[in-house]
């Protein structure tokens, strides 16, 4: 498989090179040159397949021939070492729990897959690869854990000061070894802008091999399509019309779901559920794409003012506004609405949702008002104890702290404070 830049001003590259480069030289995101749908019989018989078998069939066209089938099976086995349960709340609503991995967030899948791909590509390389990642919360933790101890790879995480939860900060600043954290005076968008600028800075690229572990990297983005297929396998025998409501910030997760649909997964519709960072929701109403500085919310992992992956979604829908509008709905909700939803979910179903899952629930609820006969699956993207202060304020019961969270709570934060790209560049060169 070859990949092209969505800015279409850079040479095509292999999967290996797309992973190692992260971003194309013309600042464009890489996109697969072709998408071959899986045969209908695959989805008809998906309930007979294991998660590993589903993932293998779904991803192999995108990594061939750079990763052999045997190596790919090993990567998948190591990536998918935890469960993806679907919890049905009522006849119209379920939640897909994506927080059973080592950092208790959906990004464990993409981060673990990418780390193993990069480790494989770099195993005979004597040069160090520096992985840059901007995070609004969960990405940094997942990447730090996924890449910890990977030979020949150094990870530098940029996160906005005061805008991630205390537990998220512990997860990305306390591991040491080959993981470094930079606390940025600014927003997630400032962090992401610094990462993108670094890829285009010849002073840096002439001295080091840089790549990104954000969802702009194809190896982080594509494996997220796996769990949409897993959920379909669980629900297909009970429900005909399945809709996914995806809490959306940088739009990598919903973009991966749409890729699963492009492969033939029979999903009726997608809902991109936003907090107050709602550039895409405004676009679908006005046809005007107008990024704004991100606004801080209680669902901080979605605090993105200029979502990188939206361009990939438009590409899959042939850059046709009407097709996009017919296949994707987008709703925006306030913090007060999110808190009310968390309380409603607990009061009605005895289920504790994190703020991001609650935004997904609200999107599902809004869609069901117009289309009451479908079954909506909202993604619960992180464990509620990662947002303990907010959750306990709303759902006034003591939360059990899972071992994955307990293991980092007593550790000391180690982070370097920076405020400008000049600071960031100096840190990398040093």
> Which residues are identified as catalytic?
107
What residues does 330 pair with on adjacent strands? 272
The residue whose two tokens read 């292999």 is 14
**Tokens found for residue 409:** 């709570």
Give dist(CA 182, CA 191) in Å, integer. Answer: 9
Q: How far is CA 229 from CA 86, 112, 317, 348, in A?
A: 12, 18, 20, 28
Token look-up 């899952």 returns 357
Is 389:256 a contact under the CB 8 Å cutoff?
A: no
Q: At what angle do helices 355-370 and 335-349 cross, to 10 degrees?
A: 80
- Side-chain-side CA neighbours of 215 within 13 Å: the count stands at 31
Helix (H) or strand (E) holding 180: strand 179-184
The b-or-e profile of 112-141 (16+ CB within 10 A means b, else e) is bbbbbbbbbbbeeeeeebbbbbbbbbbbbb
Tokens of 244: 């996914």
Handedness of CA 260, 264, 267, 272 (dihedral sign): positive
């Amino acid at each position: 498989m070859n990949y092209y830049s969505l800015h279409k001003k850079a040479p095509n590259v292999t999967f290996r090179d797309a992973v190692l480069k992260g971003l194309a030289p013309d600042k464009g995101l890489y996109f697969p040159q072709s998408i071959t749908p899986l045969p209908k019989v695959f989805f008809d018989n998906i309930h007979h397949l294991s998660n590993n078998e589903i993932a293998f069939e779904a991803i192999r066209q995108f990594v061939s021939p750079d990763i052999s089938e045997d190596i790919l099976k090993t990567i998948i086995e190591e990536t998918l070492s935890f469960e993806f349960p679907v919890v049905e709340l009522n006849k119209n609503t379920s939640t897909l729990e994506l927080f059973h991995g080592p950092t208790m967030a959906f990004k464990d899948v993409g981060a673990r897959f990418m780390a193993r791909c990069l480790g494989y590509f770099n195993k005979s390389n004597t040069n160090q690869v520096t992985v840059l990642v901007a995070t609004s919360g969960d990405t940094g933790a997942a990447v730090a854990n996924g890449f910890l101890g990977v030979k020949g790879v150094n990870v530098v995480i940029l996160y906005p000061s005061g805008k991630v939860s205390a537990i998220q900060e512990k997860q990305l600043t306390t591991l040491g070894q080959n993981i470094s954290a930079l606390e940025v005076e600014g927003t997630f968008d400032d962090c992401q802008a610094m990462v993108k600028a670094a890829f285009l800075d010849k002073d840096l690229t002439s001295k080091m091999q840089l790549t990104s572990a954000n969802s702009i990297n194809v190896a982080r983005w594509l494996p997220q399509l796996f769990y949409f297929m897993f959920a379909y396998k669980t629900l297909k025998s009970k429900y005909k019309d399945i809709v996914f409501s995806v809490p959306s910030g940088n739009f990598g997760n919903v973009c991966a779901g749409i890729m699963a649909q492009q492969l033939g997964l029979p999903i009726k519709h997608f809902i991109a559920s936003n907090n107050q960072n709602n550039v895409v929701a405004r676009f679908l109403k006005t046809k005007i794409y107008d990024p704004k500085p991100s606004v801080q919310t209680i669902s901080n992992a979605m605090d993105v003012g200029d979502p990188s992956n939206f361009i990939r979604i438009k590409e899959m829908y042939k850059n046709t506004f009407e097709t996009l509008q017919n296949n994707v709905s987008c709703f925006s909700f306030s913090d007060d609405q999110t808190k009310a939803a968390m309380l409603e979910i607990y009061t009605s179903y005895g289920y504790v949702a994190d703020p991001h899952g609650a935004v997904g629930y609200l999107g599902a609820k809004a869609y069901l008002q117009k289309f009451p006969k479908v079954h909506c699956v909202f993604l619960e993207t992180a464990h509620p104890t990662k947002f303990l202060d907010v959750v306990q304020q709303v759902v006034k019961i003591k939360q059990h702290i899972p071992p994955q969270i307990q293991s980092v709570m007593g550790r000391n934060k180690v982070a370097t404070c920076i405020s400008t790209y000049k600071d960031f560049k100096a840190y990398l060169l040093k």
